[in-house]
Chain A
Amino acid sequence: MADGFPVAFLFFAGAALLCILPKGNARALLLLAIPVIAGYIIWLLPEGNLWSTSIFELNLELMRVDRLSRIFALVFALAAFLGNLYAWHMRDMVQQVGTLLYAGSAIGAVFAGDLVTLFLYWEGTAIASVFLIWARRTEGAYHTGMRYLIVQIGSGVLLLAGTVLLWRETGSLVFESMTLGSLATWLIFIAFGIKCAFPLLHNWLQDAYPAATITGTVILSAFTTKLAVYALARGFAGTELLIYIGAVMALFPIFYAVIENDLRRVLVYSLNNQLGFMVVGIGVGTELALNGTVTHAFVHILYKALLLMSIGAVMFRTGTAKCSELGGLYKTMPLTMIFCVVGAASISAFPLFSGFVSKSLILSASVDEGYYIVWAMLLFASAGALLYSGIKIPYFAFFAQDSGLRPKEAPWNMLLAMGIAAFLSIAIGVYPAPLYAMLPYELDYVLYTTPHVVTQLQLLFFSALAFTVLQRTGIYPQGLRSINLDTDWTYRRLLPKIISAVGKPAARLWDAIVQFSLRRINNIISGLYRTHGPEGPIAKAWPTGSMVLWIAILLAATLLVSFIDLM
């Protein structure tokens, strides 16, 4: 029993402990210690259902450990460690507690063996993470956080509804592989899809993540979406629909990323595009493809965090992450620049960097299964990835035209966190065998072959060439202070417009109804007060006579019903 104690509770206990520790380094140290301990425990966990409990005759499996859940939990612990190291300087208790609860919920969800536990942690991630957005403490962040929370809770509600329906259909709550078909499975599928930012359900991601605090965005980027990837891999592996969803998902965000001005939002669009690769892998569903998805999730968490950390460091020193305001920082923030380039090389899948290790698996798997169109789309997305994040991010932040900003290098803790992430990204790229060994399935794959390397380099260098040509001819879109409309337009603009168009007459009617009902309700309340209030006849407790009268009435009634019933 003690072996399988839910790791998530360690984080929750840590969050409680944090509140009583003195402010300062003690708390920061605790924030580092907990992911390390958790990682160590997860590493040593045996496989199996280790910890179950029951509430109201529902059997809950809190610790289902297998190779799939273990690797996700491990990388979550690693991400929590890096994020907390990056945030060592931060003294905001709201974010610290939020981070622990968030990471704990994500790890708990990964180990959830049944849908009810999954739902609880699913909502836990939603509620804990919104504080990382609200912690920015501006009006805009508040509203964005609200929108984020509504979407996330909505996803949880769908999951719950699906769970209940599934339970009534099958009588089982076990979270295992499902087939789309019934309403229940569709609801669960959509719940996962929202968190995974499927096309048209994606916009909460681009809306919310760039609104979080500098450290908060790094934390956010690791958990929610990858939890959804895990859930899809567990529940819907091999669902063909996912291949097409994933392909579209890998493509459309890159167009936005090219024209987006806010570099953190560029990175979030790229996050969405990378999720597309993972979703394709899940949809293909072969062992190779699932291994590819898991590897990609693993390395993606690292290099995405690395990129967001480097841009976060720039923001920490300059107050902005916008293309239009930045440029020329390489001289004063050279280390940050180098780490950023490592992250960019990883996401672009340069050979010897971590992205290459995983994208190759997914591309190979899709060709193996004969999805050529999808393969071509993914190839396009890979070329695009170089263009909008591999080059755009470092180029516009650190080079391009001189912004005149001369910020100091990032603080040591940020550099250290970026350094570790950069080191891991390269290490995995150079020597992927240990990571491959942890994958859910046996992997027999030779990564570094001449055709592989040459074709990948061709793709990347010619895309870079295209960028150079476009940049030198001035065609490449420059950073402009602007935003771009996305699906959020429908609910931030269209919907309010419709509402106000329909609403004006409706509002007048509504007002009348409300006025009328308020008057009614007031009457009812004052009526209740007259009768039930302290002076009212029903609440009067003094007259002995009335009590006796009631006794007589009740006795008569009781006798009456007894007699009549028998006649």
Chain B
Amino acid sequence: MFSGPLTFAGLGPHFPILQVVIPLIAAPLAVFIGVTSIAFLLAFAASIASLIISYSLLMQVIDGSIISYHIGGWAPPWGIEYRVDAANAFVLLIISAISTVVLPYAKTSIEREIRASAHTLFYACYLLCFTGLLGMVITGDAFNVFVFLEISSLSTYVLVALGAERDKRALTAAFNYLIMGTIGATFFVIGLGLLYMMTGTLNMADLGERLPALSDNRTVQTAFGFIVVGMGLKLAIYPLHLWLPNAYTYAPSAVTAFLAATATKAAIYVLMRFMFSVFAPDFTAATGALNLIILPFAVIAMFAASIIAVFQADLKKTLAYSSIAQIGYMLLGIGYFSHSGITATMIHLFNHAVTKAALFMAVGAIIYQTGTSFIPKLAGLGKQMPWTSAAIVASGLSLIGIPGTAGFISKWVLINGAFEKGWWWMAMLIVASSLIAVIYVWQVVETLYLKKPVGDVVVKEAPLSLLIPTWILVFASIYFGLDTELTLSSARAAADALLGAAPLAAGAGS
């Protein structure tokens, strides 16, 4: 089934389950061992193993094939099935790659942000969150998605709350997130319950076969509404984003970098999976949710969140709001309801993960050295922390979408998709909203380089253990702006996988 230099002989067929189980086992081990350095090594090893596994999975399915893994040998639809295709393999790769870069960064970063006694707890929670995200992406069972969603959410609440060491508001943020997240998860599970009631199955592929016959059924439509809103909350679709800014701002830097790059991405993937694989594309189009809910709110997010970002005084909050705006672009791709739209969403998933993680990590380096991310206090840091500042500028350019950066590729594909539909006005909106990004990125650049430092505190450059991971991602955000081979082909394969063999009816979404 799988061969190659990376094979651990005989383990190959079990990669889908190992993907989830390795970090899951590592998490309690980290707590039992109780030594920070070993906990770190354990987490790092688990992350690297996940990365290798997810890469080899992607290479296996990029040609359009599907791996179906039956847990405990129970055949679906009765047993739980893990189902890997190009779409979720690509997301798995994003999550595990980001995690592998963030972990070494986290080791240094949390030294000044979390008290030492909580470090092993941090790694355990981090691994659980990691497990949850991987699990909700890889599984082919609808209820299993809910389980992993809860695993990742609960651990995320703890991770956010760990930021209380630096700022007490982290506790309130975590509490808010807890309430919101729970409501979201509940909505999701209500939706699942309704589906189970109507079909008697929870296997996604099975659901996909049975639901078309029930497309006129009110209960199914209600289930669709609950699932979209519940997942929409997890992915911070615009008016349901309220938990996100504070959670990102007050969480420890490494947590923010990891969550911003992965958590919302996994949720977007799940949303797409339900919209296009579980419910048939035709059904989704017929509900009008794409045109009347997703599209308008995506556009509002692009503008409103960007404008809010301009006015923020805390750099982390600026970036958090910018994330909400970027999620708008991803939803826009879904709203196109076309192959190129889904491709745009998938590629932006990747490019934005890399870019935003790099930015949050650079800001984390500033926090590490200065203890603050309050923009006016960053004046003149360009000279004192040249590498960190340069990282912010470079990935900021990618955030705007300057040619030669990964962000440009996303916008290019997105604008192409708009033209394909004949929506030239949408292309103009995309460009216009990018101009707002120019404003908030420029504000930061101006503060870093053109303003005189406040006070005469000498700030040193961040340590290499922070800079190297940051710059790996900065280079990645430039590299993937120049060489689009891997990202574009993966994103296209993912779009194929999500939409299935059935081609979209022309103009079905418009």
Contacts and interface: CB of A to CB of B under 8 A. Distances in A.
Chains A and B in contact, CB within 8 Å: yes
Interface string B224-250: 111011001100010110111110000
A551 B242 CA distance: 11
A553 B293 CA distance: 11
A559 interface: yes
A6 B254 CA distance: 43
Given A561-B287, A563-B221, A551 B233 contact: yes
Contact of B179 (A529, A532, A544): A544
B311 A534 contact: yes
A566 interface: yes
Contact of B304 (A538, A544, A555): A538
A562 B239 contact: no
A446 interface: no
Given A538-B304, A544-B180, A558 B289 contact: yes
A538 B324 CA distance: 13
Contact of A561 (B243, B246, B292, B307): B292
B384 interface: no
Contacts of B187: 551, 555
Given A548-B183, A555-B225, A563-B218, A542 B246 contact: yes
A541 B225 contact: no
Contacts of A561: 287-289, 292-293
Contacts of B239: 550, 553-554
A445 interface: no
A547 interface: yes
Interface residues on A, range: 20 to 34
Contacts of A542: 172, 176, 246
Given A542-B172, A554-B232, A558-B228, A565 B308 contact: no
B240 A532 contact: no
Contact of A562 (B224, B232, B242): B224
Interface in A510-567: 528-529, 532-534, 536, 538-542, 544, 546-548, 550-551, 553-555, 557-559, 561-566
A536 B311 CA distance: 10
A559 B292 CA distance: 11
A547 B229 contact: no
A532 to B, nearest CB: 5
Interface string B371-400: 000000000000000000000000000000
B416 to A, nearest CB: 9
B468 interface: no
Contacts of B244: 541
Given A548-B183, A551-B229, A566-B221, A558 B293 contact: yes
Contacts of B240: 547, 550-551, 554
Interface residues on B, range: 35 or more
Contact of A534 (B176, B229, B287, B313): B313
Nearest to B243: A547
Nearest to A553: B239
Contacts of A565: 286-288
Given A558-B289, A561-B289, A566-B286, A547 B242 contact: yes
A528 B221 CA distance: 37
B456 interface: no
B229 A555 contact: yes
A558 B225 contact: yes
Interface in B265-318: 286-289, 292-293, 304, 307-308, 310-313
Contacts of B222: 559, 562
A566 to B, nearest CB: 7
Nearest to B245: A541
A56 B411 CA distance: 13
A561 B229 CA distance: 13
B308 A532 contact: yes
A532 B307 contact: yes
A539 B311 contact: yes
Contacts of A557: 292-293
Contacts of B246: 541-542
Nearest to B232: A554
A529 B307 CA distance: 9
A562 B242 CA distance: 25
Given A544-B176, A554-B239, A559 B308 contact: no
Nearest to B294: A558
Given A533-B311, A558-B289, A562-B287, A550 B226 contact: no
A532 B286 CA distance: 34
A544 B176 CA distance: 6
Contact of A566 (B216, B226, B232, B412): B216
Contacts of A538: 304, 308
A561 B292 CA distance: 7
Contact of B242 (A536, A546, A555): A546
Nearest to B241: A541
A533 B321 CA distance: 12
Contacts of B224: 558, 562
A564 B288 CA distance: 9
Contacts of A566: 216, 221, 286-287
A563 B221 CA distance: 7
B121 to A, nearest CB: 26
Contacts of A533: 308, 311
Interface in B397-418: 412
Nearest to B310: A532
B225 A559 contact: yes
Given A551-B240, A565-B287, A559 B307 contact: no
Contacts of A553: 239
Given A550-B240, A554-B239, A555-B187, A528 B307 contact: yes
Most buried by B among A539, A550, A553, A557: A539
16 contacts: A529-B311, A532-B308, A532-B310, A534-B312, A540-B242, A542-B172, A547-B240, A547-B243, A548-B179, A554-B229, A557-B292, A558-B225, A562-B222, A562-B225, A563-B221, A566-B221
Report the 7 A-B pairs with minimum CB-CB distance, sorted nearest first: A562-B287, A558-B225, A561-B288, A565-B288, A559-B225, A562-B221, A533-B311
Interface of A: 56, 528-529, 532-534, 536, 538-542, 544, 546-548, 550-551, 553-555, 557-559, 561-566
